[in-house]
């Protein structure tokens, strides 16, 4: 019998076409037709994977976190899932494990998440739910300081069959993603200002906003960045739907991922490799393991490093072609077919895991 799966999204994730973040897109990619996906509020056109169900928070005089918990319990009792999957909410996963088998999927550094900040919390969590992370780096952070516990890696994935067909590459260096300091966008602008005069036939583009969706706010960071980008000759498109971002990656000769923060996976780099672009990435978090030898690495705040890597790629047609081919080959390791098989393994393991351990 096929397991009944209920996936509960983080509160800020929207399961809506044109508004979805990375977690929603991944859930949709992996969801079977009969899976239920629950999120915070109604949506317009839901993503295609599974069946979306809005959580109904009870109108009771309790903090939001408790109202969310009660809404999730009500959804579990209504749907009667074989397994409930929680993304990026350790505290919620630990609570819901009282009501049925739970699998926790971590997409970011867990040590800053509620319910996983201390070693004691993480060890207790791992006794009651199967903890999975999207990279070995995420799992290493979860296990830091802990005794023997069970954890598993569930890498993110791409459906290579639906990526846009690679076309003649434009002399464009593209940044795509959230326009925030942690993503190193200002470092890209700085680097481009230093090297643009030596490469007049090239252009630089920033595609994204503070958040995913057309209603993203104009933040102080964006206000400060815009005149710097204009002075450096960098075009800023604002938010674009995910399909438009992939189209841009299939056209751009180079995609830059100059993150400062410890990237827990590096989905932008994977998508760029899948689209055949040559990639320049930061050697932080899980990025270097993800790209392997299929990209150039450059720390965004090391003097001259990003400038040198970009110039090297712009000056060497053969290197761009070789890295684009290597990236496409490496992306096949993360294709959705293998990922679905891995997820099914982990779901069965989580059900068995929950059956063997007492709940408290």
DSSP code string of 180-245: SGGGTHHHHHHHHHHHGGG-TT-EEEEE--SSSSTT----HHHHHHHHHHHHHTEEEEE---HHHH
- Interaxial angle between packed helices 242-251 and 267-274, expressed in degrees from 0 to 180 and rounded to the nearest 10: 50
In whole angstroms, what is the distance from residue 72 CA to residue 252 CA? 43
Does the pLDDT value for residue 48 go beyond 50? yes
* Token pair 């790209």 in the structure block, residue: 291
Q: What range does the domain containing 350 cover?
A: 5-157+335-356
Strand order in the sheet with 278-281: 234-238, 203-207, 170-176, 252-257, 278-281, 296-297
User: Over the stretch 152-184, which tens digit does the pLDDT of each residue have?
Assistant: 999 999 999 999 987 789 999 999 999 999 999
> 170 and 286 share a domain?
yes
- CATH for 126: 3.40.50.2000
> 192 and 202 share a domain?
yes
Within 117-258, strands assigned E span 130-133, 151-153, 170-176, 203-207, 234-238, 252-257
Could you tell me the maximum CA-CA distance found in the chain, to the nearest angstrom?
66
> 125 and 146 share a domain?
yes
In whole angstroms, what is the distance from residue 154 CA to residue 106 CA? 9
Does the pLDDT value for residue 78 go beyond 90? yes
Q: Which residues pair with residue 206 across a beta bridge? A: 175, 236
> 182 and 202 share a domain?
yes
For the segment 31-41, the average pLDDT, to the nearest whole number, is: 93
> 290 and 350 share a domain?
no
Q: What is the pTM of this model?
A: 0.90
Contact 163/142 with Cβ under 8 angstroms? no
Output the CA angle 96-102-103, nearest 5 degrees. 130
> 304 and 197 share a domain?
yes
Contact 235/204 with Cβ under 8 angstroms? yes
> 148 and 282 share a domain?
no
If one counts the domains in the chain, the total is: 2
Using 50, 70 and 90 to split pLDDT, how confident is the model at 283? very high
In whole angstroms, what is the distance from residue 246 CA to residue 106 CA? 25
Contact 176/160 with Cβ under 8 angstroms? no
> 171 and 100 share a domain?
no
Does the pLDDT value for residue 359 go beyond 50? no
Query: Residue 168 CB: number of other CB atoms within 10 A?
Result: 6
> 218 and 320 share a domain?
yes
> 137 and 285 share a domain?
no
| SS3 (DSSP) at 102 | strand
> 283 and 305 share a domain?
yes
> 195 and 61 share a domain?
no
Task: Please state, rounded to an integer, the average pLDDT across all residues of the chain.
Answer: 94
Q: What is the pLDDT of residue 18?
A: 80
């Amino acid at each position: 019998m096929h397991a009944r799966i209920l996936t509960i999204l983080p509160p800020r994730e929207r399961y809506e076409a044109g508004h979805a973040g990375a977690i929603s897109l991944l859930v949709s990619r992996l969801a079977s037709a009969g899976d239920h996906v629950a999120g915070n509020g109604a949506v317009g056109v839901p993503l295609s994977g599974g069946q979306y169900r809005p959580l109904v928070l009870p109108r009771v005089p309790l903090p939001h976190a408790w109202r969310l918990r009660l809404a999730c319990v009500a959804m579990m009792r209504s749907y009667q899932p074989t397994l409930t999957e929680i993304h990026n909410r350790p505290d919620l996963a630990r609570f819901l494990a009282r009501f049925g088998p739970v699998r926790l999927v971590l997409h970011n550094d867990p040590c800053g998440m509620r319910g996983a900040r201390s070693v004691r919390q993480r060890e207790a969590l791992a006794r009651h739910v199967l903890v999975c992370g999207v990279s070995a780096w995420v799992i290493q952070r979860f296990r830091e300081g802990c005794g023997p516990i069970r954890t598993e890696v569930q890498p993110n994935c791409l459906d290579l069959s639906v990526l846009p067909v690679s076309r003649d590459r434009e002399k464009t260096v593209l940044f795509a993603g959230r326009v925030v300091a942690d993503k190193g966008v200002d470092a890209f602008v700085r680097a481009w200002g230093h090297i643009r005069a030596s490469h007049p036939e090239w252009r630089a583009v920033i595609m994204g906003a503070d958040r995913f969706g057309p209603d993203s706010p104009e933040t102080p960071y964006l206000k400060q960045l815009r005149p710097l980008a204009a002075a450096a000759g960098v075009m800023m498109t604002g938010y674009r739907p995910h399909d438009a971002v992939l189209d841009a990656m299939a056209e751009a000769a180079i995609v830059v991922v100059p993150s400062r923060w410890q990237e827990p996976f590096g989905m932008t780099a994977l998508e760029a490799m899948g689209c055949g672009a040559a990639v320049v990435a930061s050697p932080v978090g899980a990025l270097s393991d993800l790209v392997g030898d299929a990209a150039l690495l450059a720390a965004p705040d090391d003097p001259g490093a990003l400038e040198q890597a970009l110039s090297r790629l712009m000056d060497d047609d053969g290197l761009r072609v070789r890295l684009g081919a290597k990236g496409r080959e490496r992306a096949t390791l993360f294709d959705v077919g293998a990922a679905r098989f891995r997820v099914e393994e982990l779901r069965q393991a989580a059900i068995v895991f929950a059956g063997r351990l007492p709940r408290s």
